[in-house]
Amino acid sequence: MRRVADAAGLEHHQREPAPQPRHDVVRGRRRSGRRAPGAARAYDSLAALAASLQRSRVEPEGVRLPARRIAALIDHAERLMAHLSMVRLTLARLADDAQAPWPRIDGALAGAATALSEQLDPTAASAPSVAAAVDPSLALLPEQPAAHDVMPWLSRRLGLMVVEAARVRAAAHDLATD
């Protein structure tokens, strides 16, 4: 789980002077087109887990991995990574926008970083439950297009990311207690 948190890069976001990207999250891909090391490690871990699950299918039934639980973990982790990618794209689009509400964006990112750290820290005794992480308003799309006001869209995406992190934690806990 820590690899997914490292890939998020939200824990260490900092504002940098233009023309550099304003947040570490924007640098999810380097100029060479390769993924950042944290994201690469997270995707590599998910691929290794999926490969183990596939190899396990040919093993005797008594030694097979719990396929549904591992598939749930992979599913939620990949959703988390997809939300993270969308946040990175949103921030990259806003990087040169002088009208972007950077103080509000910084606050939203800081809150999301804290929530993600709580959810993805495997050493933490407990974290808020999935039910506590789910905000009913996340089911609704914002009324205004992102071109008019990016904050409702970014806030929704960050909220969905925290929900998926809670689901990753729950799925990992479910696997660990087997």
Tens of pLDDT, residue by residue over 5-52, are 455 555 444 434 433 444 554 444 333 455 667 888 999 999 999 999
The whole-number pLDDT of residue 127 equals: 79
The whole-number pLDDT of residue 12 equals: 42
The whole-number pLDDT of residue 122 equals: 85
Average pLDDT over residues 116-127: 87
Average pLDDT over residues 45-71: 92
Average pLDDT over residues 160-166: 95
Report the mean per-residue pLDDT for the chain: 83
Q: How confident is the model at residue 110 (pLDDT cuts 50, 70, 90)?
A: very high
Nearest of 175, 5, 171, 173 to residue 81 by alpha carbon = 5
Q: How confident is the model at residue 86 (pLDDT cuts 50, 70, 90)?
A: very high
pTM for this entry = 0.78
The whole-number pLDDT of residue 24 equals: 52
CA–CA gap between residue 73 and residue 85 (Å, rounded): 18
Supply the DSSP string of 40-109, one letter for each residue.
Answer: HHHHHHHHHHHHHHHHHTTS-GGG---HHHHHHHHHHHHHHHHHHHHHHHHHHHHTT-TTS-HHHHHHHH
Average pLDDT over residues 112-135: 86
The whole-number pLDDT of residue 159 equals: 95
Residue 7, H or E segment: helix 2-8
Q: Which pair of structure tokens corresponds to residue 129?
A: 């439950």
CA–CA gap between residue 93 and residue 70 (Å, rounded): 35
Check whether 174 has a pLDDT greater than 70. Answer: yes
CA–CA gap between residue 114 and residue 118 (Å, rounded): 6
Average pLDDT over residues 91-100: 93
